[in-house]
Amino acid sequence: MVMGAPLEDARHLAQRYDKVRQEAEAQAIEVSRRQQKVREAPGNVDNSLKVEAAESKLLELKSNMSVLGKEAVAAMTAVESQQQRLTLQRLIAMIESERTFHQRVLQILDQLEGEMISERQRIEVSLSPTSVIESGTPPPSYEEANSIFNSNPVNGLTDSMGYFLAEVIQSYQAETNVELNLSVGDYVVVRKVSSNGWAEGECKGKAGWFPYGYIERRERVLASKIAEVF
């Protein structure tokens, strides 16, 4: 809101204009009353002089009203212009504040994205196989694969000589030449489970590493399924 001299000047001029307008209205009534007396006594010189004096004062008041009206309008226009400038400045400040806020949010999001990418890369590195597939390890026979079900590996993990059969519950696409492609419903002979969450085994005549969480151990499997593995 506009404060200070411009607004006070406009208010003062408006008050003066209102006062002069009231005086002019009262003077117009006085002129009308004296004109009535002149009509009632046409030859009275004193009444005629008083009418002329009243009319002259009325004209002066009207002239003052005109001048004050113009000054008041100019003052209010100046106040309105100043108010518009202040409003514009306030809007610009608000927009600048919003822009700064969104820039800060964008910086935070960029930083968060960078941290997420770094964390994902760290997890991928930690989950990558630590050794290549042992070459020359023969796949187990049907009897060897099913006999492993009598063992009790801790937390579902086995050592390098503990074979068991598992069904793929989630497809996996190999990303390196030491990994194994898996499709849902495939059966895998698991030959090794490492502590970092990866398992090594054979499926459809191919061997490689894959995430251990993508498979589920099966207690009994038909011989036809064993044949599909090899």
Answer yes or no: do 98 and 191 share one domain: no
**Total structural domains within the chain:** 2
Domain contains 147: no
Q: pLDDT tens-digit profile of 196-218? A: 889 999 998 899 999 999 999 98
207: Cα within 13 Å, side-chain hemisphere: 15
Each residue's pLDDT tens digit, 60-69: 988 888 888 8
Residue 109 in this model has a pLDDT that exceeds 70? yes
pLDDT of residue 225: 58
Q: pLDDT per residue over 113-154, tens digit each?
A: 888 888 887 776 665 544 434 444 444 444 444 444 344 443
Q: Is residue 187 part of a domain?
A: yes
CATH of the domain at 183: 2.30.30.40
Residue pair 206/218 in contact (Cβ under 8 Å)? The answer is: no
Domain assignment of residue 133, yes or no: no
102 and 187 co-located in one domain: no
DSSP 186-221: -EEEEEEE-TTSEEEEEETTEEEEEEGGGEEE-S--
Domain assignment present for residue 188? The answer is yes
**pLDDT recorded at residue 67:** 86
Enclosing domain of residue 10? 5-107
Would you place residue 221 in the very low, low, confident or very high pLDDT band (cuts 50, 70, 90)? low
Boundary-marking domain end, from 67, 82, 107: 107
